[in-house]
Amino acid sequence: MSDDKGPEFWRWTESNWVNPDIRWQEAQFLTGGIDVGSVSSQAVIMADGVLYAYGNRRTGSDSQTSAQDALNFALEKTDLIQEEVHYFIGTGYGRVNVPMADRTVTEIACHAKGANFMYGPAVRTVLDVGGQDIKAIRCDDTGKVTNFLMNDKCAAGTGRGMEVFSDLLGVPIGDVGARSFEVDKEPPPVSSTCVVYAKSEATDLLRKGWAVNEVLAAYCAAMAERIYSLLERVGIEREFAVTGGIAKNIGVTRRLRKLMGIEPLKTTYDTQLAGAIGAALFGLALCRKGKSRKT
Amino acid sequence: MITAGIDCGAKNTKTIIMKDGTIIGRASAPTGFDQREAVKASLTAALEDAKLDREQLDHIGGTGSGAMSIEEADIKVNDIKSIAASAAYFFRGAHTAADVGAEKTRAVKFDENGSVEDFAVNEKCAAGAGAFIEAMSRALETKLEELGPLALTSEKSIPMNAQCAIFAESEVVGLIHARTPKKDISRAIHDAMAGRIASLIRRIGVNPDVVIMGGVAYNPGFIEALKRELHVDRVCIPEKPEFGAATGAAIVAAQHGR
Amino acid sequence: MLASYGYSDGSGAYFITVDTDKCDGCGECVGVCPGQVLEVIDEDPNDPFRDGPIVVVRKHKHNKIKDDCGRCKPASCRPPLPCVEACPNRAIAHSW
C-alpha cells in the first residue's frame, strides 16, 4: 500500500529460517500454515507441532502468488518439498486465495491458537493491530476463542491512522513512538475518533502553538484509548499478549499498558508468525482427528 | 419583524436576514479556527447585503455545531429545529428533510408547521458527511465542483468496498492505478455516500418530497445517486441550499419574538 | 464462543454477536432479515473443531451493518428486532 513512502512503522525484514534440530523425515505429520495479510505473508511448516521452518515476505499484488512465494521462501533452506507436507491451512485477509490450502480458518482462530503456542497457555486476551484492522480476542487455556471482535471498517486505531499522522506531521513512522514521550507534560488525547476529523483537530492544535511531539503524544494516547475500548468490549483478562505491527510502536503500547494496568507477555518468537503458526497447529489437530483433505 | 439566523458550521458560517417571512440578505464566511470572528464577518456581510444596520434586527437566532460561539444571538435554536422550520418554509407539503453538512448529517421528520416529529443524526464519522466527498476529490485529484458532474457522465456502477474515508482514499488510488475511468470512480464515490445518507433518511421514513439542504446539495452527482438510493424521481432543493439551517434559525427567531 | 461481527467508528459501535454455543444453524433469523445481513454456513470459520452449521454476518455486510440494519431500527422507537425474535435459542444480540 505504501511502498513508496520510505521508512514505515510496519517495517520489518523479509526472513526465513529452518530449525536445525529437526529431521522432518521422522515426523508423523508435517503441517503448513499460510497467513496472507494485507502487508506481509508468512508460511510456516511444523513437524508434529514443533516449528520447523518459516518464511516471512511482503505481500505482492495478488494473494495466490504471495502465498506460494512465502511457502517457497520457507522451504528454501530445507530439503523438504511442498508435496511432503500433509496438510495446509490458509488464513489471513487473503486466505481464500491460498492455492495449496486444504482448508481455510479465519485469522481470529489462528491468532488465538498461535498466541497460545507462542506465549503459553496463560494467555487469555490477544490484541492484534495491523495496518488496516484491529482484532480483540479472548481465549481459553487451549487457545480456543471464547469471544472476539474484529474492526476493519474504520481506520481509527489502525496502522493506517498512524501513517496519516506521520505524514501530516512529517515525522518518520519509526520515530513516532519515541518522540511522543519527548514532552514536558502528557497532553490530553485527541478527542476525535475519526481519523479525518482527528487530522483537522491536529492542524488546529499546531496552529494554537502545540509542538509536533505534543500532537504525536495526543494521537498515540487517542489510539491507545481507542484500542482499549475495543478490548473492553470483549473483556480484558490476564494474561495479555500483543501481536502485529502495533507491538513496535511504544507510543501506543506503553500508553495502552497504563490504561490496562497489565504488562503484556513477551515471546522469543517473531510476533508476525502468530497467524501462520496457529494455522499449522490447526492442520496438525485436523490430521490427528483424521480429517481428510478437502481436495 | 426583522430577524437574522446564523448557522455556525464546521466549514462555513452562514447568515440569513429575514423581514416578515422574506429573505432580504445573506452572506457566508469560512469558519476557520476562530468561530467568533467568522460569526461577526458573516453577520456584518449579511447586514450589508440587506442594507440594514445591526440595530434594525429584532432578534438573532443562532444554530449549528458552533452555536455556542454566536454571542450575538438572543435565541439559540436547536439545529434539528432549524432544519425542520426551513424545510417547511421552502416546501409546503414536505415532511422529510436532510441537511448534509461538512461534518454532520441530520435527517428530520416534521409536520406542516415545521415542528419536529423525529430525527436521526450521523456525526463524528466522515463517511456520512460532506467531508467524505471532499477527501475523495483530493484522492482523485479532481476539483470538488467538478466531481459531481463527472459522476453524471458514468454509466457504470462499480462498488466501493471501503466505508471509511481514509480506507476509501486508498481504494480510489488503487482504482486509478488499475486505470478505472475517473468518471466511474466518481460515480462509485457518490453512490457510496448516497447509500449511507439514504439509510439515515430511511430511519425516519421517506415521505414524498424529501428536502435536501447543505452545500452537498449543489453536487448533481450526489443528488442523482441519492434519488437512485431512495427510489424517488425527485428531491426538493431550496435555492442556496447551504443557507437552509440559517433560514430556519431566522424563522424560529421570528416566531419567538412574536 | 461469542462472535461479534461489525465495527465501531466515531459515531458509535455496531456489532451483531452470535453465541455459537447456542446457535444450531437453523436459519430462522436469515429469512426474517429484510437487509439480507445473515447467512447460514456449513462450518464455523472461526472454530475448525465445531461441527454443524452456524449463522454468520455475510462478509460484505460486516462493514455496513449500521446502514443495513437501519430499517429495523427506526429513529423514533425500538420494535423487537426480527432476527433476535426469530431465534429459538436466543443466540443473537445487537450492541446498538
For B78-143, give the secondary structure using H, E and C. Answer: CHHHHHHHHHHHHCCCCCEEEEECCCEEEEEEECCCCCEEEEEEEECCHHHCHHHHHHHHHHCCCC
Looking at the 3D structure of chain C, how many domains does it have?
1
Give the Cα separation of A98 and A68 in Å (integer): 8
CB contact at 8 A, B98 and B195: no
All domains of chain A in start order, with CATH: 3-120+271-288 (3.30.420.40), 127-260 (3.30.420.40)
Residues of B with CB below 8 A from C74's CB? 118, 203-205
User: Where in chain B are the domains?
Assistant: 1-91+243-258, 93-237
The four Cα atoms C12, C95, C72, B112 give a dihedral, to 10 degrees, of -40
Give the position of cell 495491523: A130
Q: CATH for B1-91+243-258? A: 3.30.420.40
Does B199 contact C11 at a Cβ distance shorter than 8 Å?
A: no
Residues of B with CB below 8 A from C67's CB? 195-196, 199
* pLDDT tens column, A124-142: 999 999 888 999 999 999 9
Which chain C residue shows the shortest CA-CA distance from A111? C46
Q: Is B20 left (phi over 0), alpha (psi -120 to 50) or beta?
A: left
Interface test with B, best of A59, A194, A204, A205 (most B CBs within 10 A): A194
Among B44, B40, B41, smallest CA distance to B53 is for B44
* pLDDT tens column, A218-248: 999 999 999 999 999 999 999 999 987 787 8
Same fold, B1-91+243-258 and B93-237: yes
CB contact at 8 A, A54 and A17: yes
Q: Angle B65-B68-B73 (CA atoms, 0-180°, nearest 5)?
A: 110
Q: What is the ipTM of this complex?
A: 0.95
Does B163 contact A207 at a Cβ distance shorter than 8 Å?
A: no
For residue C83, the domain's CATH number is 3.30.70.20
Q: What is the CA radius of gyration of chain A?
A: 20
Give the Cα separation of C63 and A13 in Å (integer): 32
3-class secondary structure, B30:
strand
Neighbour subunits, A (≥3 Cβ pairs < 8 A): B, C
Q: What is the pLDDT along chain C (96 residues), one digit of tens a residue?
A: 999 999 999 999 999 999 999 999 999 999 999 999 999 999 999 999 999 999 999 999 999 999 999 999 999 889 999 999 999 999 999 999
Give the Cα separation of C68 and C37 in Å (integer): 7
Say yes or no: C68 contacts chain B, CB-CB below 8 A.
Answer: yes
* pLDDT tens column, A139-162: 999 999 999 999 999 999 999 999
Does B125 contact C70 at a Cβ distance shorter than 8 Å?
A: no
Residues of A with CB below 8 A from B170's CB? 1, 160
| CB-closest option in C1, C5, C95 to A145 | C1
Give the Cα separation of A240 and A126 in Å (integer): 6
Residue B178, all three cell numbers: 488499475
Give the Cα separation of A267 and A19 in Å (integer): 17
How does the average pLDDT of chain A come out, rounded? 92
Residue B98, all three cell numbers: 436532510
Query: Would you state the pLDDT for residue A84?
Result: 96
Say yes or no: C62 contacts chain B, CB-CB below 8 A.
Answer: no
CB contact at 8 A, A89 and A101: yes
Q: What's the domain range around C88?
A: 2-94
Does B126 contact A197 at a Cβ distance shorter than 8 Å?
A: yes
Residues of B with CB below 8 A from C64's CB? 163
Query: Would you state the pLDDT for residue A11?
Result: 53
Which chain A residue shows the shortest CA-CA distance from B104? A197
Query: Would you state the pLDDT for residue A9?
Result: 43
Question: Domain B93-237 falls in which CATH fold?
Answer: Nucleotidyltransferase; domain 5 (3.30.420)
| Average pLDDT per block of 10 residues along chain B, 258 residues long | 97 98 98 95 98 97 96 96 98 96 97 95 96 97 97 96 96 96 98 97 92 97 97 96 98 91
Among A147, A245, B47, smallest CA distance to C5 is for A147
| CB-closest option in A103, A145, A153 to C63 | A153
Give the Cα separation of A42 and A57 in Å (integer): 6
Which chain B residue shows the shortest CA-CA distance from A195? B166
Q: Angle A70-A72-A76 (CA atoms, 0-180°, nearest 5)?
A: 115
CB contact at 8 A, B119 and B107: yes
Burial of C43 (0-12, 13-18, 19+ CB in 10 A): middle
CB contact at 8 A, B172 and B140: yes
